[in-house]
Amino acid sequence: MRLRLHLQQGEGPIVFFQHGLCGDANQPAVVFPADCGGRLAVLDCRGHGESDAGPLEALSLATFADDLSAAIRQSSADPCILGGISMGAALSLRIACREPGLVSGLVLVRPAWIAESAPENMVPNLVVGQLLSAPSTPGEREAFINCETGRRLAAEAPDNLASLLGFFGREPRAVTAALLTRIALDGPGIGEGELSALAVPTLVIGHDDDVIHPWHHAQRLAAVIPGARLAKIPSKARSKPAYEEALRSELRRFIEETSDATSRNRLV
């Protein structure tokens, strides 16, 4: 079966910047700095945006990463800056470890995985996925809000809660349920030894007030990846405009610096 996978890209040196779980190309486009000189490219992963889902049993981080690797190879003969938000960061990390020749720079925004599968921070996604796996009921959103996980998110990470509540209306319901359950139990399929062997400029970005993307994940990744720069930006839960502006600023700086360094190396 041939799947339709949607790739959105602009003009200029290519920067692949991937969306998170149950997101689409609009998520990275909103925070991508238009004046950085780079060309934003986003592949809608299977079951996301304008891309087909295909067999639900094939939905995995490994499958998404393979699709993304193929898109990178088709789009550019040269290594590119690669990054993403949450799930997009996990895909980028896997590709940087497994296919380093494709990557000239790595950006990990609000990482939800380090190396292990089914991390505890993904439990909220799993809970919602399991609820969506059952037939729809009038009180299912309220049931999640009032369960232990929902109450914790309301107190500690209201932005996480808002995102998860939005998934109750996402269609097709069966695809959303499969994505949330399968990806919550998945992992990038790499080891910390591979992370410590990375030899590419890396930027890791995180913030507080986030249960699904804990700040300590960003700290740990930045500590393990040689030479990685760690940036802490304003919490999305406290001020979305401040979060977006700070993220654009960090991305702009990294893209410009990495692109300049790449250009200089080609002239040597």
Determine, yes or no, domain membership for 168.
Answer: no
Determine, yes or no, domain membership for 222.
Answer: yes
Determine, yes or no, domain membership for 25.
Answer: yes
Read off the pLDDT of residues 45-88 as tens digits, 9 standing for 90 and up.
Answer: 999 999 999 999 999 999 999 999 999 999 887 899 999 999 99
Determine, yes or no, domain membership for 205.
Answer: yes
At 133 the three-state DSSP class reads coil
Domain of 104, CATH number, reads 3.40.50.1820
Determine, yes or no, domain membership for 171.
Answer: no
Determine, yes or no, domain membership for 255.
Answer: yes
Tokens in use for 154?
């309301």
Determine, yes or no, domain membership for 170.
Answer: no
Structural domain of residue 239, as residue ranges?
7-117+187-267
Read off the pLDDT of residues 213-259 as tens digits, 9 standing for 90 and up.
Answer: 999 999 999 999 999 999 999 999 999 999 999 999 999 999 999 98
Runs of H (alpha helix) within the chain: 26-31, 61-75, 87-98, 123-132, 140-146, 148-156, 158-166, 173-184, 192-196, 215-224, 240-267
pTM above 0.85, yes or no: yes
Determine, yes or no, domain membership for 206.
Answer: yes
Tokens in use for 179?
């994505």
Number of domains in the chain: 1
Mean pLDDT along residues 87-100: 98
